[in-house]
Amino acid sequence: MSAYEVLYARQFHEQLMVLPDSVYERVEHSVDVVADNPGLLRVYDSPYEAAVPPLDLRWYYVPHTHKVIYLEQDEQARQLRMLFLGDTREDPRHRFDRMDSVE
């Protein structure tokens, strides 16, 4: 059993479903890793004012890919909510332009 329950936002799920199989598997493996080891997550601190996300986020780089998982961590409920799957090749000043607003 994982240390944290994992929830998927609609946008994250949609982004996940269009990935090539090899990248999909690496992202899913990374989700499992952070669910068991939330200490690996980093607080997202934007180096650009224009790239400030709409809420406090954590992030995790998916090894051997260009993908970055952006998520919310709820310590009290012991939940991780996967929100957005970014790409390291994106312009960092516009990183969250495509992120859905969070309910």
- pLDDT tens digits along 71-86: 999 999 999 999 999 8
Of 52, 33, 36, 32, nearest to 44 by C-alpha is 52
pLDDT in tens, 47-101: 766 666 667 889 999 999 999 999 999 999 999 999 999 888 876 666 666 666 5
DSSP letter, residue 51: G
Question: Of 40, 100, 102, 36, which is closest to residue 68 (Cα–Cα)?
Answer: 40
